[in-house]
Amino acid sequence: MIRFLQTPGPIKKIVLGGILLVICVMMVITLIPGGGFLNDMFGGSVTQSGILAKVGNQEVTLLEVSEQARLMGRQQFKGNIPPALMPYLMQRAAQGMITQKALVYEADRMGLGVSDEELRAYLHQGQMGQMIFPGGNFIGQQAYQDFIQNQFNMGVQQFEQEVKAEIAQRKLMALVNGAVSVSDKDVAEQVQKQGVKVKFDYAVLTLDDVKRQIKPTDAELKAFYEQNKQQYANSIPEKRKARYIVIDTAKLAEKVSVSQAQLQQYYNQHQDEYRIPETVTVRHILIKTPAPDADGKIDQKGVEAARTKADDIAKQLKSGANFADLAKKNSEDPGSAENGGLLPPLTRGRTVPEFEQAAFTTPVGQTTGIIRTSYGFHIIHVEGKQQARLKPLEEVKLQIEPLLKQQQVAGEAQKLADSVQALARKAGLDKAASEKGLLIITTDFISQTDPLPGVGNAKDLESALFTAKKNDPPGTAPTSQGYAIYQVTDIQPPQTPTFEQIKAQVEQQFKQQRAQALLAQKTQELSDRAHAAHDLKKAAKELGATVKTSDLVDSNAQVPEIGPMNGAAAVAFSMKPGEISGPLQGGPNGVVLSVLEAQKPSPEEVKQNWDKAKETLLDQKRTEFEGLYVQGLRDRLEKEGKIKINKAEMERLSSLSEGT
């Protein structure tokens, strides 16, 4: 599962989307008092090194937990995981993996097994279905194996086991959620809460206005600089001077040509790349049959109804009806119906055997009878066929020639770079550049992030320049243009800037810090004065705040200079007309508001928003109920000895860090 979750791309989210639910539940559980990670209620023990726990016969290993913790850290911190947080992430990852395996164990115990038919139906869904069953047709076993290996770095058997475990967990959580309900009274209260609209005056003090009032003296700025000097330490980065000879592959390419013999040799060695497989282009009409239910049973009445519909379409076709028109009207394959049932050209092994056999054996222009597959009933019309063939050299010559030229240029550039470096180490850069007729570039002091003269942004060369020592023998580094043979001539170490050098930066930081404190103080004063005088506008005038009036808004609205109404300003929805708020934070601004009008939802709005409010409450209750269920499951399995903890290994987690 760890390797699966580490796989890049969106597919893993589609296949194991339900695991996010389990993770959310786990996060709730870890916050429940008494549900801590290292409690004393474990119903057994494990002592094997590297094994943190066992759930049934499933192991939770330290390696798996470490990989999962790093994955969590990379997702949360975009790759820069603070080492101090790794013990916490390790504990959360271990907790999550034990909980997940506990759910799989319980699903198996309750007989919530997953059949191959259920797995197939699941893999037909969403983007995964589009990848594995494009146009409703299987891509073929070999392509399927390659796809799973490339996307998830695992074999088909392991992948399908992981997906079945996920489906089983979904079944278990569906049973758990089946008992969740909300009363009409609770829904009515939620609708009222969500549907209130308010109109209000609001006084705004902006951070920029407050900042403009701050006029620090040089003495204050110098004191601030000294107080915060540590943050400026070595903030002027290391700089270096260098000289390098540039080898430009574009100039070498002008002198390189590709012979007919070279083209023929490459073509002979790579003929498999230019073979066009046999293809068939078809239209089809699909009438789906019901998928198996949770017990693996198939609705035979539904199958018969589908067959009757397919028979009727076949009769219409025999009577001369247009195939494309009938496909648009009747086909249940969403990928092709709009195009009159037309599928992309098919190669062998890309679809289920029954469909493939009919498509490749039916002559062009003819229509098959009704074909039964695992998807339902198909009727296929063959539009055209392409026999397998080998593209001749003349047809692919323009593809091959640039490849061969690029290879030759790369070889010539490498050979020239090696020659120039050898000569430069023996006689110096100037002599080497002169003898080879190449340009030598001399830089001023540059930092590692500065563009390099003559080559622009060249990370490999920049890295080499800032790794080498002063006057080291010339080295070679690749650039986007080719190569550079370089030598570092001077190094300026990192420096701490003087006050004069960064006075402007210090002044900005001083003003920002003071302005934040002063804004909070002035907003509090604005609120106090408004409450004392029972008049927001009067208090705003005295303190120079701007007063504005909102529209009649709900909790989804955005108000200028305040921002979203579901933030700090949400307090307005619980206030009565005439009431004045305390100090609020509206983005970078300080805000005080006074409610003018509060409007409850109309009966029509209550009716309109009832389902949404009900679903919101159900989601909240499901999350709470799932948390309690999973915690109870953990406790029970621990007491029964089905979850066994290696206490010694668990205790090690608190000392683990990114470097372990």
| Domain made up of 239-258+407-492: CATH architecture | Roll (3.10)
The token duo for 334 is 């969403």
pLDDT tens by residue, 430-446: 999 999 999 999 999 99
Query: Which residue matches tokens 């979203």?
Result: 564
Rg, the chain, Cα only: 35
Stretch(es) of the chain classified as CATH 1.10.4030:
2-179+621-655
Stretch(es) of the chain classified as CATH 3.10.50.40:
278-387
What per-residue confidence (pLDDT) applies to 556?
A: 85
The three-point CA angle 525-528-530 to 5° equals 105
What per-residue confidence (pLDDT) applies to 231?
A: 85
Q: Confirm if 656 and 90 have CB atoms less than 8 A apart.
A: yes
What per-residue confidence (pLDDT) applies to 79?
A: 57
Could you tell me how far CA 169 lies from the centroid of its own chain? 23
Q: Which of 591, 561, 594 is nearest to 205 (CA)?
A: 591
Q: Confirm if 60 and 71 have CB atoms less than 8 A apart.
A: no
Cβ count within 10 A of residue 203: 25
What per-residue confidence (pLDDT) applies to 316?
A: 95
The token duo for 574 is 């619980």
Whether domain 278-387 has CATH 3.10.50.40: yes
What per-residue confidence (pLDDT) applies to 58?
A: 86
Whether domain 2-179+621-655 has CATH 1.10.4030: yes
Q: Confirm if 282 and 368 have CB atoms less than 8 A apart.
A: no
**Which residues, given as ranges, of the chain have pLDDT below 50?**
1-44, 657-660
What per-residue confidence (pLDDT) applies to 535?
A: 96
